[in-house]
Homo-oligomer: A and B are copies of this chain.
Amino acid sequence: MEKELRTDFLGVKLSSPLVLPAGVLDISFSSMKQVSVLGAGLVTTKSLSTQARKGHEGPVVTEVEGGMLNAMGLCNPGIEAGIKEVHLLKEAAANDDELSGNCPVNMSIFATDKEDFVSIAEKADKSEADFIELNLSCPNVMDEFGVPLAASEQMVAEIISAVKNVTQKPVIAKLSPNVTNFTKIAGAATDAGADALCMINTLGPGIDIDIEMAKPVLSNITGGMSGPCVKPIALRLVYECRKAGLNIPIIGMGGITNGRDAVQMLMAGADLVGVGTAVYYRGPEVFRLINEELLSYLRRKGLDSFQSINRII
């Protein structure tokens, strides 16, 4: 089994192409370790900010047809505590028979301006994480033309270059799908020196309404959409990056729930595949299950590794 799913990502050996994305079962080292043991090749921390954040008041999640809306509010224990959790995770992994020390970690960080991104990245650089992921999906307007950060090629590029300057670790840019010019942003991120792209962050956002009380269900009113129904759009954005000629490694995610979805994501052009909301539908075992489903696909098709799966382009 391991042979066929093993891969190398930016110089780090992963036991599977499956990735735990930022925001799902990743606040504490324990959850991340559990997910690694269950079969994720790479785990991402909750997006970390300078200071701890409590996040939004509840309700913070609501299930909708085909997926889920969440407005966690980027709750996180802060970069310092996050670094400690990664330390504990690496320590626990070193002592774990099943992992035998192999537990690659992607540290997600976010800020609302370049300076903060840089100062957090400087700290993340000294952590035991293998990669640094920049959550660039901030809908706040930060540039002079009134364009939100996530949609500003220039801001995205500036933040990436600035972070690249302060870290030796590979830098992954996590992109928002909620922009008109997605491939341009992806291109700008690539040109600015990102080592990989991670797509997609949550879609929308969307609203759910309680018709008995005529109230938005989420206390934040809107929440980002994830889960099976965002998959077609995630596949399209990955595909379009490839069609636009971007040659950078891509972690593709958005609604991946089973082996078939994962194969689709690889066919769209992803190198690794994130699995987040599916934990809701199939439990943390989803990683083990999708690994098995991927393997059975490979066997049925007579392929000897997931890398030999054809892309549609």
Contact = CB atoms under 8 A, between A and B. Distances in A.
Interface stretch (A48-56, A107-115, A121-129, A260-268): A260-268
A312 B215 contact: yes
Taking the full assembly, how many copies of this chain does it contain? 2
B236 A232 contact: no
Interface stretch (A82-90, A187-195, A200-208): A200-208
Nearest to A224: B232
A225 B215 contact: no
B209 A312 contact: yes
Contacts of A264: 208-209, 211
Size band of the interface chain A makes with B: 35 or more
Contacts of A178: 180
A239 interface: yes
Nearest to A214: B310
A66 B229 contact: yes
A263 B213 CA distance: 12
A65 interface: yes
Contacts of A222: 236
A271 to B, nearest CB: 16
Given A66-B66, A180-B180, 18 more contacts: A64-B229, A64-B231, A66-B67, A66-B229, A180-B181, A203-B233, A204-B236, A205-B233, A206-B236, A207-B232, A208-B264, A209-B235, A209-B267, A214-B267, A214-B312, A221-B239, A225-B229, A225-B233
Interface of A: 64-67, 69, 147-148, 151, 178-181, 203-209, 211, 214-216, 221-223, 225, 227-229, 231-233, 235-236, 239, 255, 260, 263-264, 267-268, 297, 309-312
